[in-house]
Amino acid sequence: MVILILVFWQIFFSKMSLLIIGGTGTLGRQIVKQALDEGYQVKCLVRNLRRGTFLRDWGAELVYGDLSIPETLPSSFNDVNVVIDAATVRPTDDYNAEKIDWQGKIALIEAAKLANIKKFIFFSVLNANENQTIPLLDLKLKVEKRLQESGLNYTIFRCPGFFQGLINQYAIPILEKQKVWLLGESKPVAYVDTQDAAKAVISSLVTSKSDCKSFSIVGPKAWTSKEIIELCERLSGETAQVSYIPFIAIGILRKFFRFFEFTWNIADRLQFSEVLNGQSNSNLTQDVAFQSFEFLTLEQYLQEYFGQILRKLKEVNYQQTQRSNDISFL
């Protein structure tokens, strides 16, 4: 009997097809890769087929769809069992966040209901309920509520921030001897690797423990900005040039950008930065009950990053020295 159940389980999930929204993003591409590695059939909803070429090269099927144009969504749900929504509006997008992160998400949920999707996975932001004055976080909470009331089988994952975002913020400026800009003294944040977040998401597909529930995905340790800079300095051998931006300056910039509709996204992100630096999630623990692997630490992630960069720099310097020596013999 047990063998029959296992055989049925394998057959069922080998045919499971996923529709991933936001597959070209930092988190989304890791979800796509993890799903393909585990044998799932993967469709990626993309606005720009050219931008998604690398996903097709990996083995995913690209389908056109635009969250700002709801009528483009239903056809992408053909032969799909699970929807994974890892998309959010970018600060540089031409339309405001409400068009994507509210209207687009509602259209996505309604299309999923019509298609009888077996599970809808949505990514939200950790502690969003404590910062509802921020439009972007308020929209995330509204989508959570709408999804919970939709009648769909859902799973909501809430993340604080990702290791990958720390590279541009800290690692690259330190290596290039540029200024690292900070918003005062930040509270500890338990950043997580996008690959680990992707593993947790894919793991949730094979257990009922994730049905109609919400989970926090946080890293093993919470870090302040000062601690991250000290870690980068130790691993890179460089000294950081740190400058602080007063919170009042961010507030003024945010109000300025609010005057123009095409910069609302930037205003929202500035407000989000204010809150991110003022809140702490150092006491949170990983509550993904179905997780069966250890999360990567920030030390391990940055050690690998700086190790690769420094090795590359040594190779470049060696090649330049060799060329100089060759020229001197001419």
Return the pLDDT at 138.
Answer: 87
Q: How many distinct helices (H) and strands (E) make up the chain? A: 13, 9
Q: How confident is the model at residue 28 (pLDDT cuts 50, 70, 90)?
A: very high
Helix (H, G, I), strand (E, B) or coil at 7: helix
Q: What is the mean pLDDT of the segment spanning 62-66? A: 96
Q: How confident is the model at residue 184 (pLDDT cuts 50, 70, 90)?
A: low
**Could you tell me the residue ranges of all domains in the chain?**
2-314
What pTM was computed for the model? 0.81
- The beta strand positions in 257-325, using DSSP E, are none
Return the pLDDT at 151.
Answer: 97
Q: Is the pLDDT of residue 207 over 60?
A: yes
Q: Which residue has the higher pLDDT, 32 or 317?
A: 32
Please report the DSSP string for 229-273 in residue order: HHHHHHHH----EEEE--HHHHHHHHHHHHTSGGGHHHHHHHHHH
Structure tokens that stand for 204 in this block: 């949730």
List the Cα angle 154/158/162 in 5-degree steps. Answer: 135
Burial of 327 (0-12, 13-18, 19+ CB in 10 A): exposed
User: What angle in degrees, to the nearest 10, is found between the helix axes of 135-148 and 105-114?
Assistant: 10
Spatial separation of the C-alpha atoms in residues 146 and 142, rounded to whole Å: 6
Q: Which CATH architecture has domain 2-314?
A: 3-Layer(aba) Sandwich (3.40)
Return the pLDDT at 38.
Answer: 94
Least Cα distance to 191 among 225, 233, 153 occurs for: 225
Least Cα distance to 207 among 140, 262, 251, 153 occurs for: 153
Structure tokens that stand for 166 in this block: 């720390």
Return the pLDDT at 197.
Answer: 94
Return the pLDDT at 287.
Answer: 54
